Structures are given as C-alpha cells and as structure tokens.
Amino acid sequence: MLCFLSEVLMDERRLNIISAISVIALVILIIVARVTLKLSKGFFLIFGAGVAVIVAVFAYVLISIRFNRRRRLLESQLKSEGRELRMEYSFLKKIAGVPIKFRYKELEEATDGFQALIGRGASASVFKGILNDGTSVAVKRIDGEERGEKEFRSEVAAIASVHHVNLVRLLGYCNAPTAPRYLVYEYVSNGSLDCWIFPKRLSQRRLGGCLPWNLRYKVAIDVAKGLAYLHHDCRSKILHLDVKPENILLDENYRAVVSDFGLAKLVGKDESQKVVSAIRGTRGYLAPEWLLEQGISDKTDIYSYGMVLLEIIGGRKNVCFVDDVKSKSKRKCRYFPKIVNEKVREGKVMEIVDPRLLEGGGVDEKQVKTLVYVALWCVQEKPRSRPSMAQVVDMLEGRVRVELPPDTRMVLVDFLCVDDSATDSSSLQRLDFMSNPRIQSDVECSSTYSHATTVLSGR
C-alpha cells in the first residue's frame, strides 16, 4: 500500500512539472509570435490556440488533483477498514476458540526469549509467557524432529476443535518446516496435579502442597467429565492415551484441566478399537491390552484414569521401589493397585488413604469407598468389564450406585513379574520393560504373555 501511494505521488509530481513546462512554452510562443507577427492574422490564430491549450492544461491539472485526492481518501478509508476487519477477524477467532497462527518473534517476545521454563518432557518444553494484550500463556516447544512433527499434528488435530471447561484451551500455534514447533495454550496457574498429591522432596522447588480431600474428589469428577467429552461428545472420538497426574492441571480455583494431547488418536464413531504399531506411554498407566498389542480404545484411557484415581486417593505412585529392610543393598517393587485390592477385600479401605489427609481429618469414608470402587472397576483386566467415562461420571456424582467390583487377578503384575517380594535383579529388569516410554513390538515374552493374552481375549 505504501509503495502504491508513493507511485501515485510521483505521478502527480511528474504531471505538474509537465503541465508547468507546457504552459511556459506556450506563453513564450505567444510572446515570440507577438514580436515577430505583430497583430497579424497569424498571431491571433497562434494566440487563440495557445490560450485554449493553456486553459485545457489547467483544467486537466485541477481535475487530476481532485481525482487523486479522492482516490487517496478512499484508499486510506479502505486501508483503515481493512485493518479494522483484520482486528475484528482475529477477535472473533479468539472468541470462537479457533487457534491463531503466531509468528516466532511474537512468541519470543512473549516468553522473554524462552527464559521462564515451567515444565519439561521427553520431546517438549513448556514456557510461561504474556502476549501483547496481557493474556498469560503457556508456550509448548516441541523439539523432536520425527516425533515432534507427529506430536504436533496429533495435538493440533485433537484439541483445535474441542471446547470444554475441563480441557486445556489451545490459543494458537507456530509452525515451521523443521523443529522446533510451538503450541500456545492458556496458562493454568496452579501447575500439575502430581505437585498436589505426591509428597514433595526436599530437593524439589516447585509449586504445590497437599490437596485436601474435598478438592481431590472434585478433581476426580473434573477429569472424568473432560475424558467423557472426548469419548462421547466430539464428532470423532478422541483417545488421550497419556492420562496421568503430570498431564492434569489445576487452575486458580483448583478446577482440573486435562492437557498434553501429544499421543492422542482420532477414532471414528463406528470404530470399536484402533490398532497402533508402537506402544508409547508412561509406566504405571498403560492398559494390559495395549501392552499385549490387542488394539486401543476408549477403555484404554479408562484404565489410565483408574490408575490416576488410586494415586489421588493414596498420595503415592502406583509403581515404586522401596528399600528392603532385610537387605539394604536391594530394593523391592511395590505395586499400589495390588495393595488397594487386598485392603478392599479385608474391609480396611481407610488404610489406603493418603496418611497426610487422615492427620488433618475431613475425609469422607463414603466418598473414599466410591473412588476406590470406581478405580478398581476402571483397572479391570478385561476392557469390556470397565465402565464408560459417562458411567464413571454418573457413579462419582451419585446418580448410579457403585457396587464392589469383582476381584482382579492383576494379570499385568504377573506379566511383568512384579511382586512385593521381587528383590532379584531379573525382576527389576522386567519392570524396566514398562518404564520404557517406547516399548517395541518385537520384545520377547515368556509364557506369562500367553496366559495374559488368554485372560484378556474375552473382551
């Protein structure tokens, strides 16, 4: 637009110069004719023609100036209206929740050169930033090349078109032919759930504390509602596939928001399951059917959700190593879901609760039983035995009575050879199989694999 206006001004200047030269030349011609031809007939002819041309030149210049002035005014109005339309379009996109494409420079300025690191994962880092309009954001930088492109496409495709109060909102993105790529999310002020349910280590400097029981129960409902929306209310069913406390954020009112859709898959409404070639996820949350390569479904997320529920109740990781009192040089594995199942059968459900909560009181035993029963229903080995997320919401909100779930055989524990008495190095190596975020499909399995497959085949 600026180049066009400068060209218009140059044309006007050139026109004025040519007009002035023409008028001067005509005046000189008239003067010369007057001197040479006196008052003869030829002089009057030249004089009349010269005056007529001068008048025409002046008229043309006046009309051109007026026309160019109106044209510049219209162009200025169009430019102003175009700017207003672009601003209104951006505003409407923001209101409608449509992700905006950011420039790298904008994100660099918003994050002060990517200085405020608030989280780091296997292939991504998250930075806090403030946009020009004052909006606080979390900028996720996806660093990996091959995996980064896949995660970027999955995350944008999964969350760009969904809007729910318990799902993190994607504000925009910054794409590039090569890594890194950037996703811009709303900033959730109280960090991730793991900081609020697991004891804080002395070496850790982080936001968090011990979340009271009433808020833990509320978080359980919030997460269930978010996953139920993904599974039942979207045009295409969305599987999150990485449900864990680190991917559940708490806002200023301690409302839970499900985040990190890097592993998400879109599944058609008519598809009961989806087969994937690579198993990726987090130790302690992977469903047995996924480990056994029998395909994934919404029941895969439900299994992970059940594991998260157990961690919310007990305030401890589902799979952890503890020192062996008999041998200080060895460590044994403790599988919390197995302990929960045993305590429920013994009628000692309150012994499962986070001891820090019991010290302060205010724990509702009826709610504890509800959460424990729902969690054990969700971690059933057979996917068909698990409830849907919609049913989970109904159970947690008291619309459906929660019955005691059937005794679970913990086939996953047998498959991984994980037991409370496991102290030898071979058991630890087998557990490492689960700790690998990318479990390859060509892993050699023992006879337990066949037994586990037989148990799970009845879906």
Q: Which residues are annotated as a binding site for ATP?
A: 140
Joined together, the tokens standing for residue 123 give 């292939």
* Residue among 112, 222, 242, 298 flagged as catalytic: 242
H/E stretch holding 438 reads strand 438-439
Joined together, the tokens standing for residue 235 give 């045009």
Amino acid at 319: V
419 catalytic residue (yes or no): no
Q: How many CB atoms lie within 10 A of CB 156?
A: 17
**How would you write 92-154 as a 3-class SS string?**
HHHHHCCCEECCHHHHHHHCCCCCCEEEECCCEEEEEEECCCCCEEEEEEECCCHHHHHHHHH
Cα–Cα distances (Å) from 162 to 42, 230, 240, 299, 304, in that order, read 88, 8, 13, 20, 21
10 Å CB burial of residue 35 (0-12, 13-18, 19+) is: exposed
- Residues annotated in the binding site, as ranges? 140
> How far apart are the two ends of the chain, measured CA to CA in Å?
65
10 Å CB burial of residue 455 (0-12, 13-18, 19+) is: middle
Nearest to 301 by CA among 263, 246, 353: 263
Does the CA dihedral 272-276-282-287 come out positive or negative? positive
Range 99-102, long-range pairs (CB < 8 A, 24+ positions): 99/156, 99/160, 99/170, 99/171, 99/172, 99/173, 99/184, 100/171, 100/172, 100/173, 100/184, 101/172, 101/173, 101/174, 101/175, 102/172, 102/173, 102/174, 102/182, 102/184
Report the catalytic residues: 242
